[in-house]
Amino acid sequence: MKQMLAFALPKFSLIAFIIKKPVFLVGTVPVILVAKLVVDFESVAWILFGLFLTDFITGILASWMVWRKSDHVDKWFFGKGEGFSSDKAKKMGVKALVYLGVPFLSIRLQQVLFLKNFKYARVSDAEFELATIALILFCLIELFSIFNENLPKCGFDIWQRTKKIIRVYKKVKNEIAE
């Protein structure tokens, strides 16, 4: 009977070993804590969504600023092309479809081809899926559109202000050095 019970019940030998020799637990804790870090696709998608909306809003403001300074061939801002037109809305729709389609196609491609996640240790300790890399590229495109195309038309040119700050900094640094 003892042999049958010894065979039927698990021994939990690893737990008994760790209780008897807790020194070996120190070596296993870092292995347990260092899990596989992967950048969260959903979080990056929400960031892209926020940037997309910001680009849309600043794009409408930029179109309105350009329309306001023009000679107003069209009577209304929402017209045939001077202000905000259906052509610009179509372009935003196509961009939204690309932003939705490419990541999901790349997720499927990564699954079908059994591609591993990408890791670039100089940038991050985490791994990136192919779809997350696509979203990050789209985020960079949106940031460029906001800060280089739309905001300068609204009267806030961050690049010119940054250059001006750098020029002043260099001038002050040279005056202090002399």
Token reading at 39: 């950048």
Angle (CA) 144 147 148, round 5°: 70
Token pair 């347990």 is found at: 32
> What is the pLDDT tens value at each position of the chain, 178 positions in all?
566 555 555 555 656 666 676 666 565 554 444 456 777 888 999 999 999 999 989 988 888 887 777 776 666 666 665 666 677 778 888 999 999 999 999 989 988 988 888 787 787 888 888 888 899 999 999 999 999 888 888 888 888 888 889 999 988 888 888 7
Q: Against a cut of 0.85, is the pTM above it?
A: no
Backbone angles phi, psi at 177, to 5 degrees: -70, -30
